[in-house]
Chain A
Amino acid sequence: MPVQDLEKKFQEKIDNEVKIEPKDWMPEAYRKTNLRQISQHAHSEVVGMLPEGNWITRAPSLKRKAILLAKVQDEAGHGLYLYSAAETLGMGRDEMINDLHSGKAKYSSIFNYPTLTWADIGAIGWLVDGAAIMNQVMLTRTSYGPYARAMVRICKEESFHQRQGFESLLVLSRGSKEQKEMCQDAINRWWWPALMMFGPKDSESSHSEQSMLWKIKRKSNDELRQNFVDMIAEQVKVLGMTLPDPDLKWNEQRKHYDFGEINWEEFWNVVKGNGPCNKQRLDARRKAHDEGKWVREAALAYAAKKAAERKDAA
Chain B
Amino acid sequence: MNLIRKFYYGDIPDEKAGGNEISKSSQSQPDEKSWPLWEVFIRSKQGLDHKHCGSLHAADAQMAIENARDVYTRRMEGVSIWVVESKYITASNPEEAGELYEPAKDKVYRHPTFYNLPDEVNHM
Nearest CB of A to B26, in Å: 4
Contacting B at CB under 8 A, from A267-287, are: 268, 271-274, 278-279, 282, 285-286
Q: Using Cβ atoms and an 8 Å threshold, which residues of chain B touch A56?
A: none
Known: A21-B94, A296-B35. Contact between A289 and B26, CB under 8 A?
Answer: yes
Q: How many residues of B contact A (CB 8 A)?
A: 47
Kindly provide the distance from the CB of A297 to the nearest chain B CB, expressed in whole angstroms: 7
Known: A84-B55, A206-B5. A199 touches B27 (CB 8 A): no
What B residues does A268 contact at CB under 8 A? 16
Q: A98-B28, A107-B10, A207-B5 are in contact. List 13 more A-B contacts (CB 8 A).
A: A27-B1, A37-B10, A77-B74, A84-B55, A102-B22, A102-B23, A103-B23, A198-B8, A209-B2, A210-B2, A221-B7, A286-B23, A299-B63
Q: Given that A87-B55, A293-B32, A300-B59 are known contacts, is A210 also in contact with B4, CB under 8 Å in the complex?
A: yes
Question: Are B23 and A135 in touch, CB under 8 angstroms?
Answer: no
Interface residues of B in 1-44 (CB under 8 A from A): 1-14, 16-23, 25-28, 32-35, 37
- The reply to whether A211 and B4 contact each other, CB–CB distance below 8 Å, is yes
Please judge, given known A-B contacts A80-B71, A293-B32, A297-B32, whether A208 and B5 are in contact too, CB under 8 Å: yes
Q: How far is the CA of A155 from the CA of B54 in the complex (A)?
A: 16
- Min CB gap A135→B, angstroms: 5
A86-106 interface with B by 8 A CB criterion: 87, 92-94, 97-98, 101-106
Q: Which residues of A contact B (CB under 8 A)?
A: 21, 23-25, 27, 29, 33, 36-37, 40-41, 44, 70, 73-74, 77, 80-81, 84, 87, 92-94, 97-98, 101-109, 131-132, 135, 150, 153, 157, 197-200, 202, 205-211, 217, 221, 268, 271-274, 278-279, 282, 285-286, 289-290, 293, 296-297, 299-300, 302-303, 306-307
**Can you name 24 A-B residue pairings with CB atoms under 8 Å?**
A25-B95, A44-B9, A70-B74, A94-B28, A98-B26, A101-B26, A103-B19, A103-B21, A104-B14, A199-B8, A207-B3, A217-B6, A217-B8, A272-B16, A272-B17, A272-B19, A273-B17, A273-B18, A279-B20, A290-B26, A296-B59, A300-B33, A302-B59, A303-B59
- Contact partner, A199, options B7, B28, B32, B60, Cβ 8 Å: B7
How far does the alpha carbon of A294 sit from the alpha carbon of B22 in the complex, in Å? Answer: 22
A-B CB contacts (within 8 Å), total count? 169
Cβ contact within 8 Å between B60 and A221: no
Least Cβ–Cβ distance between A213 and chain B, in angstroms: 10
Whether A290 pairs with B74 at a CB distance below 8 angstroms is no
Given contacts A74-B74, A272-B18, A302-B59, contact A101 B23 (CB under 8 A): yes
Residues on B lying within 8 angstroms of A by beta carbon are 1-14, 16-23, 25-28, 32-35, 37, 53-57, 59-60, 63, 70-71, 74-75, 91, 93-95
A84 touching B59, Cβ below 8 Å: no
From A300, which residue of chain B is reached at the shortest CB distance?
Answer: B59
Whether the Cβ atoms of B6 and A208 lie closer than 8 Å is yes
Per the bound structure, the CA–CA distance linking A307 and B63 in Å amounts to 13
Interface of B is mostly: loop
In angstroms, Cα B22 to Cα A95, docked, is 14
A273, B3: Cα distance in complex, Å? 23
Instruction: Give B53's nearest chain A residue, CB to CB.
Output: A153
Q: How far is the CA of A303 from the CA of B94 in the complex (A)?
A: 35
Complex Cα spacing A263 to B46, Å: 54
B94 touches A24 (CB 8 A): yes
CB distance from A159 to the nearest CB of B (A): 12
Across the interface, do B59 and A205 meet the contact criterion of CB distance under 8 Å?
A: no
Chain A residues with Cβ under 8 A from B60's Cβ? 299, 302-303, 306-307
Q: Are A98 and B11 in contact (CB under 8 A)?
A: no
